[in-house]
Structure 1
């Protein structure tokens, strides 16, 4: 009787701990999704974080409005950037679109702006081109600042609409594409993943091969393994300080994509070495002996017998390392920078998704936008983990055949 009570009590503790863990996970993910899901859309994924100002060249062509006035009033582009409607909207025939005056919020400042609130399907704005003749997409939340060199600042909505209607021939419209997107951050993150893995994978695999196949058991090998285990437990900010002092300052690589990739590669090395080493150890000794007995050299045995058998474990380690790169922030703040742009070269700075989430939460206090970025990060990590499991299973089946 007493043993049964103890067993039930222990079982209850296990269930309770599991329930608490699962609840915390659901709460965290749920909080991120509830706070940020409203901002996640196509524009959020395809626009840069910073605003873009450019000139659009549009043909002057009258287009009748296909909806009534009440429906037009419902076509509002309001989101977190637009605080309130001041005037309008007013439909302007010769651009086939409606404009409205709103209070525009940019970080901590607010000012009035003219915003495109509705565009007809056959509007000339849908065929706009930039100064090079390249077609461009103008959205319903774009800010319109001037037309043919005449600025709209200080004009009422009626005066601005009349000014547009009085223009003839080709129209040169100065527009602002709103920011708040993460396109450049996604691309920078992918660059960081690619470069850091290109550096870390060969070094990690070769290091594991040495420890498993060549090194003789002893103090030296034990010291290397102990050092790798210690490195995997060191906070990433320490790696960031090293990367800033060595790569950025000593090697003069500047705060750049390359400095960040080299720093992250060092962070990944212990994980790849240990995981690869364990994968190599699972290959039966008989495989090695059989290969050597058939006349193969040790190097041939390693690359043609041992490594192929260990590929599932190595692939899993690599894909999980990608998740580590995606989630890294502290080290990259000091080595890759916080500039929300697509790096033009290896020596250009850039901001990954996690760094951008930190920036908007800490510097701007925009928790909703930070959570929206967090959703993108969570989705990427989930996809990578699924790919890790699928690839590992398929490679296991292939090797068994």
Structure 2
């Protein structure tokens, strides 16, 4: 009777602990989604965080409207997070597009502005160029501020449309492409994942091969393993300080994508080495002996027999590494920077999603936007993990054949 009571009590504790764990996880994920899901849409994913101001040049032309007035009114490219329609839209033949007046608002300001609501297929706006002759991609929901130096700010929609339509020849238009999105952060995060894995995976795998296949058991190997385990437990801010001192200052890579990737690669090495080492140990010794007995060299045995068998374990290391890269923020604040832009080169700064989430939560106090970024992070981690698992399964099936 006493044993049954103890078993029931132990089972209850196990169920309770499991329930608490799942509840906490579901609460965290649910909180993120509830707070941020209202901000996630296509424009959120495809816009940069900062707005872009451009002076573009277009050639005025008489472009008739190909849709009727009722369908024009149905055109609604406005982002409901920031904009509400005041008047319009009105079609303007000279630019082959319609504009509308909207009320713009965010955490700091409210103002009225004119946005492009509709663009014809042969609109001259689609051939807009800047002062250097570079094409500028004009889209619906872009903001028109000036036309040939004339400020449209205090005009009504009808007055602004008439002013634009009265201009002829080459038009100089001040266009603002709105921000509020995370496109640059997504691309920077993917760059960071790719570059850091390209650096860390070969080094980690070769290090694990040395420890498993070449190094003789002893104090030296035990010291290396102990050091790897200690490194995996060190806070990432320590790696960030090292990366800033060594990569940014000493090597003069500056605060850049390269400095951030090298720093994160160092963070990943202990995980990859230990996971790969354990995967290599699971390969039966008889596989190695059989390969050597058939005349294969040790190097051939490692790369053609041992490593293919260890693919699932190596894939696990890669999965853990992807999550670590995407979730890293402290080290990247010091080495990659907080500039919300797509890095033009390896030596350009950039802001990953986690760094951007920290920035908008800490500096702007915008918890909803930070949660929206959190949703994107969760989805990216899931997608990358699924793709990595799919690739490893395919490789594993191929090796078995």
TM-score, reference length from structure 1: 0.90
SS at match of 1:359: helix
**Are the equivalent residues in 1 in contact too, given 2:255–2:337 (CA < 8 A)?**
yes
Alpha-carbon distance, 1:280 to partner: 0.7
Alpha-carbon distance, 1:75 to partner: 4.4
**Are the equivalent residues in 1 in contact too, given 2:92–2:161 (CA < 8 A)?**
no
Give the distance between the partners of 2:176 and 2:281, measured in 1 at CA: 58
Give the distance between the partners of 2:112 and 2:399, measured in 1 at CA: 65
Give the distance between the partners of 2:57 and 2:316, measured in 1 at CA: 48
**Are the equivalent residues in 1 in contact too, given 2:185–2:356 (CA < 8 A)?**
yes
SS at match of 2:181: coil
Matched, 1:337 2:337: yes
Between 280-289 and 121-130, report the one with greater CA deviation. 121-130
Give the distance between the partners of 1:377 and 1:103, measured in 2 at CA: 28
Gaps of 5+ in 1: none
**Are the equivalent residues in 2 in contact too, given 1:104–1:113 (CA < 8 A)?**
no
Give the distance between the partners of 2:333 and 2:213, measured in 1 at CA: 38
Written as runs of structure 1 = structure 2, the 5 A alignment for 1:181-330 is 181-330=181-330
SS at match of 2:174: strand
Count of equivalent residues = 395
**Are the equivalent residues in 2 in contact too, given 1:102–1:112 (CA < 8 A)?**
yes
**Are the equivalent residues in 1 in contact too, given 2:101–2:115 (CA < 8 A)?**
yes
Alpha-carbon distance, 1:42 to partner: 2.0
Alpha-carbon distance, 1:103 to partner: 4.2
Alpha-carbon distance, 1:316 to partner: 2.5
SS at match of 1:59: coil
Give the distance between the partners of 1:191 and 1:111, measured in 2 at CA: 36
**Are the equivalent residues in 1 in contact too, given 2:264–2:325 (CA < 8 A)?**
yes
Give the distance between the partners of 2:325 and 2:383, measured in 1 at CA: 14
Alpha-carbon distance, 1:157 to partner: 3.6
SS at match of 2:310: helix
What value does the CA root-mean-square deviation take over the aligned residues? Answer: 2.5
**Are the equivalent residues in 2 in contact too, given 1:255–1:348 (CA < 8 A)?**
yes
**Are the equivalent residues in 2 in contact too, given 1:260–1:332 (CA < 8 A)?**
yes
Match of 1:81 in 2: 82
Give the distance between the partners of 2:383 and 2:115, measured in 1 at CA: 37
- 1:49-107 deviation digits (Å, cap 9, x = unpaired): 111122262534343872459x949948253334x66x5235244244132152444x6
Alpha-carbon distance, 1:393 to partner: 3.4
Give the distance between the partners of 1:123 and 1:291, measured in 2 at CA: 67
Between 119-128 and 344-353, report the one with greater CA deviation. 119-128
Give the distance between the partners of 1:60 and 1:53, measured in 2 at CA: 26
SS at match of 1:223: helix
Give the distance between the partners of 2:341 and 2:35, measured in 1 at CA: 25
Alpha-carbon distance, 1:211 to partner: 0.7
TM-score, reference length from structure 2: 0.90
